[in-house]
Amino acid sequence: MSIFEDMRNKQEELLRTERLPHVWCPGCGIGIVLNAFLRAVIRRKIDPEKLVVVSGIGCTGRTAGYVNVDSFHTTHGRAIPFATGIKFARPDLNVVVFSGDGDLFAIGGNHFVNAARRNHDLLIIAVNNFTYGMTGGQHGPTTPTGAYTTTTPYGNPDRPFNIPHLAISLGVPFVARWTTYHVNQLQNSIYKALGMKGFRLVEIISQCPTVYGRRNSMKSPLSMMEYFQKNSIIKPNASFEEMELTYNGKIVVGEFRVRTNIPTYEERFDDVIRRAQNEN
């Protein structure tokens, strides 16, 4: 059996196959991201008993129900606080937060900012599909300026979050962004992030043909994929202005920041406990 066939069979073991086909729409990018994530886990040879997948609410929040490892489907926006708790109670586990843009950056924005600031030992897989897919396509904090959604029928007046810029400004050790078109690069980035320590963010620009693409002249799944293919530029040393997402504009992708020497919150906390015990 070749390594590829072996990986595909192991991937099948990491899925709750009795629940497939999943709820995601035809051509949804979350399946591609989950596919890449499971492959990276297999390549890292992580014991499924030592892996926890935490997700919030929304389309991406359903991921927790399809992985055959210990998983946690939490309340809206609170995926990172729950994951922080798991990591504190069981530091030996690999904790992965697999959630969407609405969950992580809208209602959970404050949790994201503060967890990133403290550098908790978590891997964040943020699937950014520009909109709130499950509730019918309302505009969110990552919708590009000018995009049409159900709540912005004349174009979105807001500016979107520049997520890699936000993460880098908080000193996060690993920041990467890919689109679902870059399946191999995405898998390699998650593989790299799984082997590191600290708060690691992988943002994936994903397609939502059903509610976002339909209102923005990309009706079929393939037309959204073509948009990613034609407009993405791989530029790891991009400036902050270039990282900003614009409506129908270029998408700058790459591994923007890789640092290995930043102490995690768990390490600093252990240090504090040790000093307190020595004093008494």
Partner 1 sequence: MTQKKYERKAVVKILEDRCKGCWYCVNYCPTKVLVISDKMNAKGYHPPEFREDKEHVCIACHLCELYCPDFAIFVEELK
Residues contributing to the site for partner 1 (CB under 8 A): 2, 4-5, 8, 11-12, 15, 20-22, 24-32, 35-36, 39, 183-184, 187, 221-222, 225
Nearer to partner 1, 84 or 187 (CB): 187
Q: In the numeric block, which tokens belong to residue 46?
A: 């992580």
- Of 132 and 181, which has the nearer Cβ to partner 1? 181
Select 54 or 67, whichever has its Cβ closest to partner 1: 67
Q: Does residue 232 sit in helix, strand or coil? A: strand
Q: Are 175 and 201 in contact (CB under 8 A)?
A: yes
H or E element in which residue 183 lies: helix 183-194
The residue (of 176 and 225) whose beta carbon lies closer to partner 1 is: 225
Extended strands (E) in 117-224: 123-128, 131-132, 138-139, 174-179, 200-205
Shortest CB 28 distance to partner 1, Å? 6
Cβ 175 to partner 1 shortest distance, Å? 23
Closer residue to partner 1, CB minimum distance, 5 or 92:
5
Which residue, 30, 171, 38, 177, is CA-closest to 103? 30
Of the candidates 202, 240, 216, the residue with the CA atom closest to the CA atom of residue 131: 216
Q: Report the run of H or E that residue 212 belongs to, with start and end.
A: none
| CA angle 119–125–129, rounded 5-degree value | 130
CA angle 114, 120, 122 (to 5 degrees): 115
Min CB(202)–partner 1 separation in Å: 16
> Considering the complex, what minimum distance in angstroms separates the CB of residue 156 from partner 1?
26
* Alpha carbon distance 133, 127 (integer Å): 12
Report d(CA 145, CA 88) in Å as an integer: 39
Least distance (Å) between residue 31 CB and partner 1: 3
Please state the closest distance from residue 192 (CB atom) to partner 1, in A: 17
